[in-house]
Structure 1
Amino acid sequence: MKVCFLFVILFFFISNADAETIKVRASQSKFDSTHDYYIGLIKLAYKKINKPITVEYAPYMVQERALSEMQAGRLIDLYWAGSNVERESKLGFVPIPLVKGLLGYRVFTINKKYQSEFLEVNSLKDLNGIPLCQGQHWPDTDILLASGLNVVPNMVYENMFRQVYSGRCKAFPRGINEGYSEVESRQKVMPELMVFDDLILHYPFPMYFFTHKENKKLINNLTDGLMLAIEDGSFNDYMAMHPATRHLFPLSKWSSKTIITIENPFLSNNAEFKNPKLWVDLKRKN
């Protein structure tokens, strides 16, 4: 019995010694409800290729700094972020959209008192006069500005919810995989916060895992693992069960919404946005 116990302990230490360590940034606030989703995807990918990993957390930093630190090979190994041509030229990345392109379907986090204004919006022209909060260094800001929308940029994620609540901006466009859990987690401190989803703003926009350009091992492992999960259906199963994304299903329920599509002039040629295995089209019957 003692010999068996010692063998188990020895196996545990050997397994952990062989585990790949991946450093990621910590949650951006105590209300960050989607952080666990991306950690889970990392673990799912490595499970598919039968390789052990240890995930370590660096202190939270704003997106632009996190990407700069990673490009310099400091502090973190991996970061998930919306993509554009510039980021893909400077960093290594896994060319698999982490929420199958659903990040580009934006619902509107608003204060309930402004709901009537959004009920009147039926076109891009109607939306143009409404001030929208967005992250200062996020690719979304450039996309929205390119379409002539009124953007109020802010560097701090949590401040954008405060701005919406106070009326400094009328809405914070969020991916349909983000908005609901974010509002739910803030109900005690912002009870009048709501998701307006009768209207959806859409642009092709992938969320990728980014890393240092030379980190080929991490890129290949994640690519191989995620593609295996896509092919065997466990990627979809994960999305359908995770608290951050399960509300999206069945995907057919979104077909009755008003969807305004704008161009993403910063989308790279790497985005296979017509590949149904990688991208969801809510305007198509799924």
Structure 2
Amino acid sequence: MQFIAQLASRSKSLALRCSTVLLIVTLSMSHASAAVWQITYPKALNEGSKDFSYVVKLLELSLSKTGVRYTVTPTDDTLLQHKALNYLKDNRQVNVVWSMTDKQRESDLLPIRIPIYKGLIGWRVLLMHTDNRTRFARLEAGDLMAKNSVQGMNWPDTKILRANGFSVINATDYAEVFQTMQREQADFLPRSVIEVTGEMENAGLTKNLVLEENYVLRYPAAAYFFVNKQNKILAKLLQRGLDMAIADGSFDQLFTETYMPMLKALNVPDRVMLNLANPLLPEATPLSNPALWFEQ
């Protein structure tokens, strides 16, 4: 009888523990389904530009495709790219950053390998000082190597241009890049076709700067969404959402609406294209998938 009583007591205890576990699992699943993904990205100096708005819209589009509940908000303070990438690596303040990829960034962070600008981040037109307009009017492609360009110290483009034989002056940050040009301490500034239109509308940033009219540099380059190495669930969520947006055409629709008018305004189809190599491009870059890249 004592054995039966002990067995009954143990069975009752086991049933209670199982019920407790089941309740916890049920509550956890309920919480997960009701959870809101809080996405925080770095506030930038060009917050109001079309290319910045495009990426935020693309981020929201990818999340909406998955059916999850979400909020997408910037940090309170402006974060320059280098600091934002370091914060993401340390899992501080931000959980998504978008940036041009290179081997070091893919080592430090977790990339979602879908080029958000379809490669246009590597299409570069040249800004020059208005005083050089006449001098640059008959510029031959080979003459560019003898001129000084300027780029940010931590930008991948600095190493890419140098690897292709260009002379590059380093500036400490984004603002100083343009100040260097305004002081005529460099001959030209290569800027991406997705960025330069908005920058030319900023009178303080590009005062006395004009576009060189003949050339566009192009090197294979991809800008990705990056997340912290440990945030694999968010990475899979963004990957799934972007894949869905590509499949149903909404990615291309957003891209075309945003960038085709810019390319036309910059007269890109009629420019001489100078193709450069990119030694910083990671081997995993999906160059073989034409659906992910723009070709004119």
- TM-score class, shorter: 0.7 to 0.9
* 1:132 CA drift (Å): 1.1
Which residue is equivalent to 2:104?
Answer: 86
What is the correspondence of 1:14-25 to structure 2 with a 5 Å cutoff? 18-25=35-42
SS at match of 2:74: strand
Which deviates more, 18-27 or 51-60? 51-60
Query: What do residues 198-219 of structure 1 show as CA deviations (whole Å, max 9, x unaligned)?
Result: 2001110101111111111211
Q: Structure 2: how far apart are the matches of 1:165 and 1:213?
A: 40
Gap regions ≥5 residues in structure 1 = 1-13
Q: How many matched pairs?
A: 264
Which residue is equivalent to 2:238?
Answer: 222
Say whether the 8 Å CA contact 1:45–1:229 is kept in structure 2. yes
Say whether the 8 Å CA contact 1:29–1:158 is kept in structure 2. no
Aligned: 1:160 with 2:177 = yes
More helix by share: 2
Q: CA RMSD in A?
A: 2.4
Give the % identical residues.
Answer: 28
Which residue is equivalent to 1:149?
Answer: 166
Which residue is equivalent to 1:100?
Answer: 118
* 1:52 CA drift (Å): 2.3
| Gap change, CA 1:97 and 1:197, over 3 Å in 2 | farther
Aligned: 1:205 with 2:221 = yes
Which residue is equivalent to 1:11?
Answer: none
Aligned: 1:254 with 2:277 = no
Q: Structure 2: how far apart are the matches of 1:278 and 1:190?
A: 32
TM-score, normalised to structure 1's length? 0.84
What is the correspondence of 1:132-147 to structure 2 with a 5 Å cutoff? 132-147=149-164
Say whether the 8 Å CA contact 1:133–1:154 is kept in structure 2. yes
Question: Which residue of 78, 83, 87 corresponds with 1:65?
Answer: 83
Gap regions ≥5 residues in structure 2 = 1-30
Q: Structure 2: how far apart are the matches of 1:27 and 1:189?
A: 15
Which residue is equivalent to 1:170?
Answer: 187
Which residue is equivalent to 2:282?
Answer: 268
Say whether the 8 Å CA contact 2:193–2:263 is kept in structure 1. no
TM-score, normalised to structure 2's length? 0.81
Structure 1 segments of 4+ aligned residues over 4 angstroms from their partners: 29-33, 188-191
What is the correspondence of 1:42-57 to structure 2 with a 5 Å cutoff? 42-57=59-74
Query: What do residues 79-129 of structure 1 show as CA deviations (whole Å, max 9, x unaligned)?
Result: 111111111112101100010001101011222222234333332x31112
Task: Flag the structure with larger Rg.
Answer: 2
